[in-house]
Amino acid sequence: MSKLILTTAALALTAGMSFADTIRMGTEGAYPPYNFINDAGEVDGFERELGDELCTRAKLTCEWVVNDWDSIIPNLVSGNYDTIIAGMSITAERDEVIDFTQNYTQPDPSAYMALSADVDLSGAVIAAQTNTIQASFVAASGATLVEFSTPEETVAAVKNGEADAVLADKSYLAPVAEGDADLVLLAQQELIGGGVGMGLRESDAELRGKFDAAIGSMKSDGSLNALIAKWGVGEQF
């Protein structure tokens, strides 16, 4: 997918900083309410609002880069952008390849959605997005996993009968179920991962420190909790 670059206003870099003049914020743009492309063609959602505020607090000039989920970590490592801010849960496996800031959301319960509340998950075919904590969880559980590149495709797989249920963040699935009378959230939930954080290259310790400090300041003054409540992305700190 060709990358969409959108510039956002933030404060100018202070003199003497050792990294690039413009920090490129990588996101998927396809996982509401965390991130999505609005009708104006711009990155929107919880992470757009959060990222803009973090850049302001860190005195960084930032721009937004949209990248497919499948290649979002490799393209960070190769230098296509400088951060990942894309609803990415902090896991030990990912931390072997990239570094993370402290979490800016609590672990979000993962929910199952199906066409019927009577689905037997023990013998079900479960859809999940590729390279997610949900896909890893299903694979380890022994259930039959079918993976798709986008979250929309996982939902479509349930509706067209390719999968019995989809496992994804509850904050993503709940609005989908509310808007489609054919789909229901199941009672069973899973708590996976260590919350969502920003991903950075392991060599960018200084930049990680600036974003860590900005996240910490938002936790301290309550502004992060206000954003979490506004966008409905889980429990507050």
| Chain segment 140-199, per-residue pLDDT in tens | 998 999 999 999 999 999 999 999 999 999 999 999 999 999 999 999 999 998 899 999
Q: Which domains does the chain have, with CATH numbers?
A: 5-106+194-231 (3.40.190.10), 110-190 (3.40.190.10)
Tell me what the pLDDT averaged over the chain comes to.
Answer: 91
- Reported as type and span, the H/E element at residue 64 is strand 61-66
Among candidates 187, 192, 190, 191, which has minimal Cα distance to 120? 187
What is the pLDDT, as a whole number, of residue 108?
82
Among candidates 31, 134, 18, which has minimal Cα distance to 84? 31
pTM greater than 0.75:
yes
> Does residue 56 surpass a pLDDT of 80?
yes
Please report which confidence band the pLDDT of residue 64 belongs to, taking 50, 70 and 90 as the band edges: very high
> Does residue 67 surpass a pLDDT of 50?
yes
Side by side, which strands form the sheet with 99-100?
A: 5-7, 61-66, 22-27, 83-84, 199-200, 99-100
> Does residue 114 surpass a pLDDT of 60?
yes
> Does residue 5 surpass a pLDDT of 60?
no
Q: Which residues does 78 contact at the CB level (< 8 Å), separation at least 6?
A: none
- Reported as type and span, the H/E element at residue 235 is none
